[in-house]
Amino acid sequence: MRALPKPCRSRTVFTNRESQLTNYNSRITIHESRESRQSSEDLVSAWTNFQVWWRGLVAAAIAGGANGVITGFAAVGIDPQHFNLQAGLHSTLAIAGVSALMSGIIGVAAYLKQSPMPKEP
């Protein structure tokens, strides 16, 4: 009978070291991907917070402007000699525009008091 060859001990050691190195590299890669995913999630969260804040700011300006337009046209009922739709729209639209601008500014200021600009992550 022929003797079986002895297993090469150096190959086994090399294979174990190679697998240890592979495991170490994969752990580093997993750690790096978790960090990049976390920073990516923070960036998305910050962008979402800014979008919500910006939409609220625009909504406050629109609501204030709409209130001002209604107030401007209410001037027709208060002072019909100066603000009427038959004599001309200029003075009526002028007071509605100025009132809308001022009410929009007040609406934006009230929103900024309640919800200041979001902080960076």
- Say what the pTM is: 0.58
Query: Please, are residues 69 and 77 in contact by the beta-carbon 8 Å criterion?
Result: no
Query: What is d(CA 57, CA 115) in angstroms, rounded to the nearest whole number?
Result: 9
In this predicted model, what pLDDT tens digit does every residue of 24-68 receive, in sequence order? 555 555 555 555 565 667 666 777 888 888 999 999 999 989 998
What CA–CA distances, in Å, run from 20 to 11, 27, 28, 60, 70? 14, 11, 12, 60, 75
| Unique residue bearing structure tokens 């001002």 | 68
Contact call for residues 87 and 107 (beta carbons, < 8 A): no
Domain ranges of the chain: 10-114
